[in-house]
Amino acid sequence: MASPKRILLVDDEAEVLQVLGDILSSMGFQAETASSGEEALAKLTPQTDLVLLDVKMPGLDGFQVAQRIRKNPATQDVPIIMVTALGNRPDRLNAVRAGASDFIQKPVDAVELRVRAEAQLKLKESQDEVKRQRAELQRAYASEKELLERTLQGSVRALVDILGLVSPLVFSRVGRIRRLVRQLCMNLGLPNAWQYEFAAMLSQVGWVAVPQEVTEKHFTGQPLTPEEQKMVESHPETTADLLARIPRLGSAAEMIRGQGKTHFKELYSGDLKHRDPAAIGSLILRAVVYYDLLLSQGLSHRDAVTELRKAEARNDPAILSALQAIIVDDAGNPIDLEPRKVRVSELAQEMILGEDLHSRGERGILLAR
């Protein structure tokens, strides 16, 4: 059996409170009383279903009490019926502005009171049900979103791990490319830079479909046969096709797919920040990936930048300038992006291992990958 609805009666006249309380109790409501605005605010709780509020009271009048009820997030949805002997239009307008839901005039008619009270209570029940359903939907959405995010993170981690197992050479590039893209986005002041960094992290996954010997020839600058060159050029498309099958990776897939395009003029017309994010991501990846390739093929920083400038017709000038600015230090010296040997004690969190790390001995234990 449902508990009776709680109605708070507010009036400075004890006789009025007694009469209204008896009427409401006879209707099956739970009547609570307050003889002042201050007492009403103290007794009011989110569990109160309705407030019957007198306008003319010493201290806080009905308008002021209604305003405070509406300003409190915990009670702002509680319906308020103003009880007053005043029937003129200005008082009604003031009551509406203060937050009144309905009006009833003194002397109160029991039938009218019941009709108006039940109407407001039914309306509040409907509003409460809508809020409950909205809260349930929000919880369900949050749970589903969390599940999708975990699934996405797991899928991405699995792809990157597979790349590390199949091609450590390519895997070692991922960290460098990702850091360069992050710095480049900061230099350009691009919003939502995470999406470009995310695409950079996945941009090399397609190399798992390229034979290891072809991969090594490509990154060491050795001549490739036409068939091998086709394999190399297809890796962005392979990566994009793979990612496009994973929910919520469509944007990253388009960025990666676009870096293999040969006609870029239509992509970098106008201000960089106002272009399509997929086009921006493609241009960023194109410049950074090519720069890293040139370094891996033995070119110096200066020669790599020169080669980038030669290909400026296929790259965005603003991106090239920003890239050149971040790959040199304040003195104009190139930042060290080359693989190097370090002691175990010198390993840092952002370093990428070029090969598996084992303990010493014939049966060395795999320590890191």
- The answer to whether 99 and 120 are in contact (CB under 8 A) is no
pLDDT(359) > 90: no
Mean pLDDT of the chain: 82
Q: Is 315 left (phi over 0), alpha (psi -120 to 50) or beta?
A: beta
Q: Say what the pTM is.
A: 0.54
Angle at 252 between CA 157 and CA 205, to 5 degrees: 50
- Among 167-176, 224-233, 323-332, the range of highest mean pLDDT: 224-233
Over residues 289-306, mean pLDDT: 83
Over residues 184-207, mean pLDDT: 89
Domains of the chain: 6-135 (3.40.50.2300), 167-368 (1.10.3210.10)
- Among 302-306, 323-327, 337-341, the range of highest mean pLDDT: 302-306
**What percent of the chain clears pLDDT 90, i.e. is strictly above it?**
23
Measure the N-to-C terminal CA separation of the chain; round to a whole number of Å.
Answer: 64
Over residues 124-131, mean pLDDT: 87
Over residues 85-109, mean pLDDT: 80
Q: What is the pLDDT of residue 330?
A: 47
| C-alpha to C-alpha distance for 159 and 208, rounded to whole angstroms | 10
Q: What is the pLDDT of residue 269?
A: 54
Give the contacts of 350 (CB within 8 A, at least 6 positions apart): 175, 179
Among 156-165, 180-189, 215-224, 282-291, where is mean pLDDT lowest? 156-165
pLDDT(9) > 60: yes
pLDDT(67) > 70: yes
Q: What is the pLDDT of residues 43-56, one digit of tens each?
A: 999 889 999 999 88
Q: What is the pLDDT of residue 153?
A: 75
| C-alpha to C-alpha distance for 198 and 219, rounded to whole angstroms | 23
Q: What is the pLDDT of residues 198-246, one digit of tens each?
A: 899 899 988 988 898 998 888 888 899 999 999 998 989 999 998 888 8
Higher pLDDT: 231 or 332? It is: 231
pLDDT(111) > 80: yes
Among 12-26, 116-130, 265-279, 324-338, where is mean pLDDT lowest? 324-338
Q: Is 53 exposed, middle or buried (0-12, 13-18, 19+ CB in 10 A)?
A: buried
Q: What is the pLDDT of residues 237-273, one digit of tens each?
A: 999 998 888 877 888 999 999 887 655 555 545 566 6
| C-alpha to C-alpha distance for 216 and 145, rounded to whole angstroms | 40
| C-alpha to C-alpha distance for 89 and 17, rounded to whole angstroms | 26
Among 126-135, 230-239, 276-285, 347-356, where is mean pLDDT lowest? 347-356
Q: What is the pLDDT of residue 353?
A: 61
The helix or strand, by DSSP H or E, that contains position 325, with its residue range, turns out to be helix 317-326
**What percent of the chain clears pLDDT 70, i.e. is strictly above it?**
85
Query: Tokens representing 228?
Result: 């091998």
Q: How confident is the model at residue 6 (pLDDT cuts 50, 70, 90)?
A: very high
Q: What is the pLDDT of residue 149?
A: 73
Q: What is the pLDDT of residue 303?
A: 83
